[in-house]
Amino acid sequence: MGIPDHLTCLLRNLYAGQEETVRTGHGTTDWFQIGKGVRQGCILSPCLFNFYAEYIMRNAGLEEIQAGIKIAGRKINNLRYADDTTLMVESEEELKSLLMKVKGESENVGLKLNIQKTKIMASGPITSWEIDGETVETVSDFIFGGSKITADGDCSHEIKRHLILGRKVMTNLDSILKSRDITLPTKFCLVKAMVFPVVVYECES
């Protein structure tokens, strides 16, 4: 993928000989070595998984496949961030083909498709699906990248959802906003820092 050798070496050293322990209500376990997976809570982990996902998508041939939805003159058949992947096509047959290719390539590198977390959304009628004997759930909306996407393309639900989330944050700040010990500029800064980002998050989408 064109990653410089010195970066590969740094990452290899970061992950070499990793050990973890688990803390429970009864105490802490002995340290044990980690054989696979990325570091939990590390800001580098999503990027590393993105490389993994890119490898899978390339081997599945998604870049060469003509299936997809045309956006700004370009065919796009997948959106992904870390282990959250969305496949987009214009027909049910194309979706089945893409999904089975991604599933196969994922299994080749030791990843298993979680059928319980796999959902199908279509703008028209769609037949019931089964993968490995498990039924894939059909939904009318789902959340990707923090935005609610609906089958009918209506964004009013998403706007209402963000307003409700904003109101919840305001409710949590109620005691602070009513306090006479906190200055008005400080209250405004809190609202600006905690409420505004929730309300306008992903508003471009």
Q: In this predicted structure, what is the pLDDT of residue 91? A: 82
Q: Is residue 1 domain-resident?
A: no
Range of the domain at 52: 39-139
**pLDDT tens-digit readout, 156-167:** 777 888 888 889
Q: What is the pLDDT of residue 96?
A: 85
**Token pair of 11 as six digits:** 């990452």
* Residue 84 is assigned to a structural domain of this protein: yes
Domain membership flag for residue 29? no
- Look at residue 10 and tell me if it is in a domain: no
Among the candidates 93, 108, 139, a domain finishes at 139
Q: What percent of the chain has pLDDT over 70?
A: 98
Looking at the domain assignment, is residue 30 inside a domain? no
**Could you give the CA distance from residue 106 to residue 55 in angstroms, rounded to a whole number?**
9
Q: Quick one: 91 and 161 in the same domain?
A: no
Q: What is the pLDDT of residues 93-142, one digit of tens each?
A: 888 888 888 888 888 888 888 888 888 888 777 777 888 888 888 888 88
Strands 32-33 and 141-144: unpaired
pLDDT in tens, 178-191: 998 999 999 999 99
Residue 145, domain member (yes or no): no
Q: Of 106, 139, 172, which residue sits at a domain end? A: 139
State whether 122 and 182 are in the same domain: no
The number of residues making up the chain comes to 205
Is residue 114 included in any domain, yes or no? yes
In a domain, 27, yes or no: no
Residue 205 has pLDDT above 60, yes or no: no
Q: Name the domain count of the chain.
A: 2
Are 117 and 193 in a shared domain? no
User: Is 80 exceeded by the pLDDT of residue 86?
Assistant: yes
**Kind and range of the H or E run holding 57:** helix 45-60
